[in-house]
Amino acid sequence: MTPDERNAQLIAYLYGELDEHERQEMEAFLATNGEARRSLEELRRTRGVLGAWEDETPPFGLTFVPEDAAAGARRPVAWWWASGLGVAIAAVLVLAFLRIDVTMSGGTMTVRMNWAEDTPVTASSDSVLTENRFVRYQEAYLELTQDLIEASELRQRAAMIEFARVLEARREEDLRQIGQGVRNVGQIAERSYLQSGVLLTRWAQTRPSRRK
């Protein structure tokens, strides 16, 4: 065995990668060769220094395939099941929100809208909507609409008349109060004028004569 081959075997021994026979051979050689033992010990010490550099955690994780897409591709059955469940939950929520009760009894579907009146709207399989019936419904609907409009107009007209009457009464009252105010101001001014005259007369009578 050449020195290079011996060194190569020493490396394999150092890392525990010799088979059992090779390992025994190497240990026999080491037992009789002090230089080889020292070399092996130095290699171990060098490894010990290198081993002080511990692994580091990568600064960020890597994700190459969107997790949603990955999950979808991996579990198609679960996806469909979840989708169906989602639709069912949404339907229940809508029905709950609108407070609609749907019941089936004897071929009749009854839809009850609890937020309105407690009168159920019933549709049965033996009620047939004919053209005549549809026309009558439409006529009745138009007539009702017209009545509502007329009633609304009458109410609006009566409201306008009442509003005008109140406005006129308010205006007359305002004018009356303004007239009264003007009269009061006039009386006060007249009274002040008279009082001033009286005061001037008294002052003139009590004033000492300069001629004296």
Partner 1 sequence: MTEADLINAFKRGDRGAFNDLVRLWHPRIYNFVLRYAGDRDEAADLAQQTFIRAYSALSKLENPEKSLTWIYQIALNASRDAGRTRQRRPTVDVDDENIAAALGDDVLSRPDAVAHERDVRDLLNRALQTLPEEQRVVVIMKEYEGLKLREIADALDVSINTVKSRLYRVLESLKHLFERWCITEEMMRYDA
Check residue 79 for interaction with partner 1 (CB under 8 A).
no
Q: Distance (Å, rounded) from C-alpha 142 to C-alpha 149?
A: 10
* Count of residues of this chain found to bind partner 1 when the rule CB under 8 A is applied: 38
Smallest distance, partner 1 to C-beta of residue 28, A: 20
Check residue 153 for interaction with partner 1 (CB under 8 A).
no
Check residue 40 for interaction with partner 1 (CB under 8 A).
no
Q: Which of these segments, 1-9, 108-116, 129-137, 159-167, binds partner 1 (CB under 8 A)?
A: 1-9
Specify whether the CB–CB gap between 125 and 107 falls below 8 A. yes
Smallest distance, partner 1 to C-beta of residue 86, A: 21
What number of other Cβ atoms are within 10 A of residue 29's Cβ? 16
> E-assigned strands of the chain?
100-105, 108-113, 121-124
Joined tokens for residue 38: 């020292």
DSSP letters for 69-124: HHHHHH-HHHHHHHHHHHHHHHHHHHHHHHTEEEEEETTEEEEEETTS-SPPEEEE
Check residue 43 for interaction with partner 1 (CB under 8 A).
yes
Q: Which is nearer to partner 1, 47 or 183 (CB)?
A: 47
> Which of 19, 20, 65, 212 forms a contact with partner 1 (CB under 8 A)?
65
Check residue 7 for interaction with partner 1 (CB under 8 A).
yes
> E-assigned strands of 114-196?
121-124
> Which of 37, 38, 45, 176 forms a contact with partner 1 (CB under 8 A)?
45
Smallest distance, partner 1 to C-beta of residue 116, A: 50
Q: How large is the angle between the packed helices 67-74 and 76-98, nearest 10 degrees?
A: 110
Smallest distance, partner 1 to C-beta of residue 34, A: 17
Interface residue list for partner 1 (CB under 8 A) = 4, 7-12, 15, 17, 42-43, 45-65, 67, 69-71, 73-74
